[in-house]
Structure 1
Amino acid sequence: MKDLTINTATAFDLPPVFAARHLIDGAWIDGGDTFERVSPSHDVVVSRACLGGAAEVNAAVAAARRAFDAGIWSRIPAKDRAAVLLKVADLIEANVERIAVQETLESGKPIAQARGEVGGAADLWRYAAALARTSHGDSHNSLGEDMLGVVVKEPIGVVSIITPWNFPFWILSQKLPFALAAGCTVVVKPSEMTPSSTVMLGELLIEAGLPAGVCNIVLGLGDPVGSLMTTHEAVDMVTFTGSTAVGKRITQAAAGTLKKVALELGGKNPQVIMPDADLENAADAVTFGIYFNVGQCCNSSSRIIVHEDIAQDFVARVVELSRKVRFGDPLDDSTQVGAIVTAEHNAKIDGYVKDAVAAGARLELGGAPLRVEGLGPQFYQPTVISGVTPDMAIAREEVFGPVLTVLTFRTLEEAIALTNDSDYGLSAGIWSNDIHTCLAFVRGAQAGTVWTNTWMDGFPELAFGGMKQSGQGREIGRYGYEEFLEVKSLVMRVGRDSRTPWVARSED
């Protein structure tokens, strides 16, 4: 541990314990049981949230249903919906620090990354506002002189939005503004571990003038809150981000009502390193890709596939950089890696590492929990494991921590085969100065996003989502927006007497 870069506890006055309440039909609702969130980094209670049940879910869904059917949001001009979304974006930027501090305390992520997440989310709201105004259907005037066809797009209806703990503000902003831009009404359930930033956003929605009932927030556990939001007959669509196991259960539960389901699930994302790559930049990107957000990221590049001719040198580069990455107090502006979300998850990460070493993998760095002076126990060392074989659990399953696995290859075909040898297909990347190599990899990789000579760059204009067991449907971009729309075809006859009668007319 002495050769690692550790930021010990800083002097910081923690804010008061945040009281998180339900938002139903424009009113804040409290009462009943509560859930106390203990900060994974500071080991103190930082929020106290209401625990909802069937009564709160039914009330929230009923409010969303009334608001949608009344047309107070779904049938107003798109420019008016866009105006509200733009106000929300401005309010987000005005409240970045307050929201980011609370998210850091609840999630354990570094404050600098929390600020980037919250502030960057404003751009998603602005892009969604632009889509609201520019969305349109199609017309077909080539169907014959007496026919006109029009394809229109209408909001799907009431949407249940269920979000995870790792990027609670960003992932909500990948869903909510696009649903609202389409004219939908929603019920949101954040993770019970990170409820506060969603409630804070609810405050901003009210301040921006969103009508009552259009966005409702119900706090609580997956069972019963999330389960009922998935099966409720008055809900038209469910959009969920989280584990693949839970996503499968949601799909099964929603089958009873045949509601639409959109899922953004796990990943086991590879970066392929070719011998002709810019190894300095590639090593930096790999280091970022595994430690960003404490490795608790669906897009984490948790496995690298390195050409055997450069593998030893490249791993040494990554290990050297890993020692310089700042682990520790997430409230320190210079910290790059904070705390693991729960003690149970920290133990799970450690179990994957211990099992891999027992199976013959080599520990190049780390491989154990990390103690940080003055802070709680939920930290894990930067960890690099080489000698990994494709059959090991650590190479196939989503570890969700600061643990990098290294595999090697000899040919591009073998690298593509290793890339696709996974149940997941969220993202992948390649490093090479040969454009033909990059394009061949892009064509062959089974992933929803493929990066070449970069990692984790994203833009509101570009759709995000996975193949295989990484999910179904897309988020953000125009494709993500259209997930919340139904397509309706209008077939109109121009003249009444221009067609031959199907039933013969009787003669007078």
Structure 2
Amino acid sequence: MTSRLEVFNPATGEKIRSVPEQSAQQVKESIERSHRAFQQWSKTSAKHRASLLKKWFDLIGEHQKELAKIITLENGKPYQEALGEVTYAAGYIEWYAEEAKRVYGRTVPASVTNKRIIVTRQAVGPVAAITPWNFPAAMITRKAAPALAAGCTFIIKPAPDTPLTALELVRLGHVAGIPEDVLQCVIGDGEEIGSIFTNHPFIRKITFTGSTPVGKQLMKNSASTVKHLSMELGGHAPLIVDQDANIDLAVKQTMLSKFRNAGQTCVCANRLIVHESIKDQFADRLNQEVAKLKVGNGLEEGVSVGPIINQKGFQKIVEQINDAVDKGANVLIGAKYDVDDEKSCYFVHPTILTNVDLSMKIMHEETFGPVAPIITFQTLEEAIKLANDTPYGLAAYFFTENYRRGIYLSEQLDYGMVGWNDGGPSTVQAPFGGMKESGIGREGGQEGIEPYLETKYLSIGLDE
């Protein structure tokens, strides 16, 4: 008997749907089909692949409302946010439909006259993707679109909390004409499927978005077959507000960065590092805006902060808040919770903490929740030291109207993505990824298709 995964709405506890899980044998069969399909798909023209991606893009646009509702039901994020994610997700497909036709090789002058040197690019092979729950559409298309554009076949293993978005995206891809064995989705135990992916010789690349510990394990397990790897891992983003910052702008952009998806994103501002001279003004203005946020079911009108995805995530947030308060932090607003353990529904009201110091867990651990801790600084060097004091290096933000200080900050921050007076820098045409323990490789932009390509060098001798 086939086991089934039950999917629940984190805002209400209601069962949405159950979906069949694949056995280990079925996952292996999917990989074998992907391998066989690669032999044909990789030989199709870039123009053909681009045309199918464009059809997929169009279909997602036609079904954006239905997709957004699925995201809100299984993820909990507000419906308007979910609509924005669908647009963002589709943008990757449109971008890589165009990039498919721009995978260029080159000729290289030989050192002798009787040789010719040609460099070409070809698809890596079948790709396995493991995607998270917090962006159940965008984290798939950001990987699938460049892989398919490059000529790779693709298997998605979505998060168990949010499989329905993945299934619908794959269905629309098939309707668009992408062959079923070229684009597949498998659902089941993450550890078991991850082990199959990393050990199977037919899978030539693993792409993963998730926690750093899981990413490290996938890297270790992939070593025996020397797979290509792309890893977008944890973050602990600093947001620096300098003494000459436009405070209204800084507050507006902090709201955008911190409270989107109830703070459950890897690029959320996790530590607000504010100049001592403006801390009260900034905190008061931020408090005014946070007070306007409505917490609840994402399908209800006016809701801007949805539920925490599960009990484990909720407990981590509460633990960090309690630890900070016990060590002297002040609660400016929030630290309130709506909990229904019977239905597994957990809401955290947006929270601002002041009088924060480095003894507190929240300054060293990614929160993944709607909590904004404010720590102060006096010198720019102190702010940079605070910002870089982490093994992570995904995203960072700073606010200053002084171009000299801005350029200096941008060069000193050890992060793959930096927003200067911008709390939402992520876009399909720019490379997304981190430094240090925040990952390997980039997704988006011209750089995003590179991890799905091999370089081949051909030397032609012309002697008779």
Classify the TM-score, shorter chain: over 0.9
Deviation at 1:495, TM superposition (A): 3.0
Q: Distance in 2 between matches of 1:111 and 1:468?
A: 34
What letter matches 2:160 in structure 1?
A: E
Residue 380 of structure 1 pairs with residue 361 of structure 2? no
**Structure 2 equivalent of residue 35 of structure 1:** 5
Unaligned runs of 5+ in 1: 1-30, 497-508
Q: Distance in 1 between matches of 2:111 and 2:164?
A: 54
Q: Distance in 1 between matches of 2:462 and 2:403?
A: 54
**Structure 1 equivalent of residue 386 of structure 2:** 418
Residue 225 of structure 1 pairs with residue 179 of structure 2? no
Answer with 375-384 or 410-419: which moved more. 375-384
**Structure 2 equivalent of residue 187 of structure 1:** 155
What letter matches 2:4 in structure 1?
A: T
Deviation at 1:105, TM superposition (A): 0.8
Q: Distance in 2 between matches of 1:399 and 1:459?
A: 23
Q: Distance in 2 between matches of 1:455 and 1:285?
A: 5
* Total equivalences in the alignment: 462
Q: Retained in 2: the 8 A contact 1:340–1:380? A: yes
**Structure 2 equivalent of residue 312 of structure 1:** 280
**Structure 2 equivalent of residue 11 of structure 1:** none
**Structure 2 equivalent of residue 197 of structure 1:** 165
Residue 342 of structure 1 pairs with residue 310 of structure 2? yes
SS of the equivalent of 2:162 reads coil
Residue 491 of structure 1 pairs with residue 445 of structure 2? no
Q: Could you give the per-residue CA deviations for residues 43-83 of structure 1, whole angstroms, max 9, x where no partner exists?
A: 100121222221121011000001112xx210111000000
Q: Distance in 1 between matches of 2:107 and 2:158?
A: 40
Residue 63 of structure 1 pairs with residue 33 of structure 2? yes
Residue 97 of structure 1 pairs with residue 65 of structure 2? yes
Q: Retained in 2: the 8 A contact 1:112–1:334? A: no
Q: Retained in 2: the 8 A contact 1:53–1:224? A: no
2:17 is matched with which residue: 43, 47, 53? 47
Q: Retained in 2: the 8 A contact 1:42–1:105? A: no
What letter matches 1:295 in structure 2?
A: G
Residue 432 of structure 1 pairs with residue 371 of structure 2? no
Residue 328 of structure 1 pairs with residue 311 of structure 2? no
Q: Could you give the per-residue CA deviations for residues 363-404 of structure 1, whole angstroms, max 9, x where no partner exists?
A: 2211131369xx973111111112222342111111100011
**Structure 1 equivalent of residue 334 of structure 2:** 366
SS of the equivalent of 1:302 reads strand
Given the two structures, how large is their TM-score scaled by the length of structure 1? 0.89
Query: 5 Å matches for 1:219-368?
Result: 219-368=187-336
Residue 109 of structure 1 pairs with residue 71 of structure 2? no
Percent of residue pairs identical: 35
Q: Retained in 2: the 8 A contact 1:272–1:431? A: yes
What letter matches 2:69 in structure 1?
A: V
Query: 5 Å matches for 1:124-163?
Result: 124-141=92-109, 143-163=111-131
What letter matches 1:187 in structure 2?
A: I
SS of the equivalent of 1:86 reads helix
SS of the equivalent of 2:295 reads strand
Deviation at 1:259, TM superposition (A): 0.8
Q: Could you give the per-residue CA deviations for residues 417-461 of structure 1, whole angstroms, max 9, x where no partner exists?
A: 111101110011110111111110110000000110111122222
Unaligned runs of 5+ in 2: none
Q: Distance in 2 between matches of 1:312 and 1:466?
A: 32
Q: Retained in 2: the 8 A contact 1:112–1:333? A: no
Q: Distance in 1 between matches of 2:168 and 2:362?
A: 37
**Structure 1 equivalent of residue 54 of structure 2:** 86
What letter matches 2:6 in structure 1?
A: E
1:123 is matched with which residue: 71, 79, 91? 91
SS of the equivalent of 1:285 reads helix
Inter-CA distance 206–271: structure 2 relative to 1 (3 Å threshold): same
Q: Distance in 2 between matches of 1:287 and 1:484?
A: 35
Q: Distance in 1 between matches of 2:315 and 2:207?
A: 30
Residue 390 of structure 1 pairs with residue 358 of structure 2? yes
Q: Distance in 1 between matches of 2:288 and 2:394?
A: 28
Deviation at 1:154, TM superposition (A): 0.7
Q: Could you give the per-residue CA deviations for residues 154-187 of structure 1, whole angstroms, max 9, x where no partner exists?
A: 1000111100000010110110010000000111
Q: Retained in 2: the 8 A contact 1:153–1:487? A: yes
Q: In terms of Rg, which structure is larger? A: 1
SS of the equivalent of 2:260 reads helix
**Structure 2 equivalent of residue 74 of structure 1:** 42
Q: Could you give the per-residue CA deviations for residues 244-294 of structure 1, whole angstroms, max 9, x where no partner exists?
A: 111111111111211111100111101110111110010111122111011
Q: Retained in 1: the 8 A contact 2:327–2:359? A: no
Q: Retained in 1: the 8 A contact 2:310–2:344? A: no
Q: Distance in 1 between matches of 2:406 and 2:388?
A: 16
Task: Give the structure with the larger helix fraction.
Answer: 2
Q: Retained in 2: the 8 A contact 1:326–1:337? A: yes
Q: Retained in 2: the 8 A contact 1:285–1:455? A: yes
What letter matches 1:322 in structure 2?
A: V
What letter matches 2:439 in structure 1?
A: G
What letter matches 1:250 in structure 2?
A: L
Q: Retained in 2: the 8 A contact 1:237–1:261? A: yes
What letter matches 2:177 in structure 1?
A: G
Deviation at 1:147, TM superposition (A): 2.0
SS of the equivalent of 1:464 reads coil
SS of the equivalent of 2:345 reads coil
